[in-house]
Amino acid sequence: MNVKKTLTIRDIATVAGVSPATVSLVLNGKGDISGVTRARVLEAVASLNYVPRSAKGGSEPTDTLRFLKISKHGHTVNRDHSVFISDYIDGMSAEATRRNYTLEVVSFEGQPISAVAESLAGAPINGVIALGTELSEADIRLIQGLGFPTVFIDTFYDIVDANFVDMNNEDAVYKVLSRFQANGFSRVGFVASHVDTTNFRLRRDAFFKNMARLGLKVRESDIISIESTHEGAYTDTRALLETGIDLAECYFCTNDIIAYGFIKALKEFGIRIPDEVSIIGFDNLPQSATIEPPLTTIEVSKRKIGYLAVTVLDDLINAADPQPPVKVLVGAELVVRSSDSRSEPQTERRQGSHRSRTRKKQPAN
């Protein structure tokens, strides 16, 4: 007879390649732990479906919330975004502990949504927070209909009767385009992605809406669509550059990962950033501060989103009567570095022209 082994912090440490003490600090939200290390530990927690011991002590069970880390296809929820996801978990974990809940993290990679639904059947939990990045409207409705109080993060649907906590994409994109306009640019391009996620779609819609709001003309030739992974974005951009594409003065990239691949390809073709093409990303991942040139990008507090998700969920759990859907949007900051304007100094700070020409192909040796 096989007896299922109870996972320990030492097991998490082995998988993450860190010390048990580091795992303990991460799980308890203590210590000066780097974002990369924290992400590695939380990835191990999710992959092993580790459930921490009761925060109340003794044998008294705590109420339990379950975070579903769902990666349907992995084009956006992958290791490139581990730090991003870990920030969500940090915010959820801190607020769950404060409200006397245990937070479980359960990971689903490449599995059908039916597997997620099956995992929840009869689960001894009080509520669910689901990562909605790669979920469709049908997926949202399925999970919402399982009967648990549920909050979805990193996605948003106006007309779906469900609870959402997401970033305010329209506000964020307005800040990007306003920055370009303030720098004297009039020909503004957009690096979109053909990967279908709600936030990508919302950012595309916000681009067109805010271009009109600011009186900027959209040129269809300046809207390009590439893969959302780093390697895919790089490969697709190289293919476009090999056609002799006429580049815009500046580009808003749908997220930082896409921006990294885009920048890598431009540099290999001898295109100087920001002297010839200015670029702004979205997400403020740690690498954005260290690439060359450092990337101007949008910062949205993922910890705030995680905290608010638990707050909304706790209200749903404790409500005496059925509640109307709650839809929360968290605002953004523009983190100004040096990828977006030739005239800006090489320093980072937070804030609320040149013409490009057809480039000759200069593939890397």
Task: Report the pLDDT value the prediction gives residue 45, as an integer from 0 to 100.
Answer: 74
As a 3-state breakdown, the chain gives helix, strand, coil percent values, each rounded to 5, of 40, 20, 40
Task: Report the pLDDT value the prediction gives residue 353, as an integer from 0 to 100.
Answer: 34
Task: Report the pLDDT value the prediction gives residue 126, as an integer from 0 to 100.
Answer: 96
3-state secondary structure (DSSP) of residue 346: coil
Q: Are strands 297-299 and 333-336 parallel, antiparallel or unpaired?
A: antiparallel
Q: How far is CA 106 from CA 174, 237, 335, 345, in A?
A: 35, 35, 32, 44
Task: Report the pLDDT value the prediction gives residue 77, as an integer from 0 to 100.
Answer: 64
Both tokens of residue 145? 């209909």
Task: Report the pLDDT value the prediction gives residue 84, as an integer from 0 to 100.
Answer: 75
Task: Report the pLDDT value the prediction gives residue 357, as an integer from 0 to 100.
Answer: 39
- Mean pLDDT in each 10-residue stretch from start to end of the chain (365 residues)? 59 82 70 71 72 47 87 70 81 94 91 90 94 93 93 95 97 98 96 92 97 98 95 97 96 97 98 97 94 97 96 96 94 96 50 40 44
Burial label, 153 (beta-carbon count in 10 A; 0-12, 13-18, 19+): buried
9-167+300-330 with 169-299+333-351: one CATH topology?
A: yes
Q: How far is CA 64 from CA 122, 152, 364, in A?
A: 13, 17, 53
Task: Report the pLDDT value the prediction gives residue 30, as an integer from 0 to 100.
Answer: 59
Domain residue limits, the chain? 9-167+300-330, 169-299+333-351
The topology (CATH level 3) of 9-167+300-330 is Rossmann fold (3.40.50)
Whether 118 and 130 have beta carbons less than 8 Å apart is answered as no
Task: Report the pLDDT value the prediction gives residue 86, as an integer from 0 to 100.
Answer: 87
The topology (CATH level 3) of 169-299+333-351 is Rossmann fold (3.40.50)
Task: Report the pLDDT value the prediction gives residue 348, as an integer from 0 to 100.
Answer: 46
Task: Report the pLDDT value the prediction gives residue 28, as an integer from 0 to 100.
Answer: 63
**Which are the contacts of 212, defined by CB distance < 8 A and separation ≥ 6?**
218
